[in-house]
Amino acid sequence: LKIADETWDFILKQDTNSDGLISLEEFKTFALARQKKLESIFDSIDKDGNGYLEEKDIEQALIQYGLKATKSKIHQFLETLDENKDGKISFREFQELTMLFPRIEVDQILSSAINDLDFANNGIPKTDAKNMKPLNVFLSGGVAGLISRTSTAPADRIKIMMQAGGKNAKIGTVIRDILAEGGPMAFWRGNGANVIKIMPESAAKFYCYEFFKKKIIRDPTDVQIQERLLSGSLAGMTAQTAIYPMEVIKTRLAVSPPGTYTSIPNAFTKIVSGEGFGALYKGLGASNIGIIPYAGVDLAVYGTVKDMWVKKHPNCTPAWYETLCMGAFSSFVGQVVAYPLQLMRTKLQSSGLPGRPVYGGMSDVIRDVLKEEGFLGFYRGIGPNFMKGIPAVAIGYLSYEKAKEFFSRVLP
CA distance 77 to 73: 6
Mean per-residue pLDDT, 218-239:
86
**pLDDT score of 37 more than 90:** no
Average pLDDT over the chain reads 79
CB within 8 A of 208, min separation 6: which ones?
A: 234, 235, 238, 239
Q: What is the pLDDT of residue 320?
A: 86
Q: Which of 106-115, 160-169, 269-278 has the highest mean pLDDT?
A: 269-278
Task: Report residue 272's pLDDT band, with 50, 70 and 90 as the boundaries.
Answer: very high
pLDDT, one tens digit per residue, over 71-87 is 777 777 777 777 777 77
Distance CA 302, CA 235 (A): 14
Q: What is the pLDDT of residue 8?
A: 46
Mean pLDDT (whole number) for 165-169: 62
Contact indicator for 233, 296 with CB cutoff of 8 Å: yes
Judge whether residue 234 has pLDDT over 70: yes
Number of H helices, E strands in the chain: 16, 0
Provide, rounded to the nearest whole percent, the portion of the chain with pLDDT above 70: 82
CB-neighbour burial class of residue 183 (10 A; exposed 0-12, middle 13-18, buried 19+): exposed
**Closest to 230 measured CA to CA, from 319, 291, 292:** 292
387-403 b/e (C-beta count within 10 Å ≥ 16 → b)? bbbbbbbbbbbbbbbbb
3 state SS of 53 = strand
Indicate the pTM of the whole model: 0.55
The band of 121, judged by pLDDT with boundaries at 50, 70 and 90, is very low
- Chain centroid, CA 180 distance in Å: 37
Cβ atoms within 10 Å of 296's Cβ, excluding its own = 24
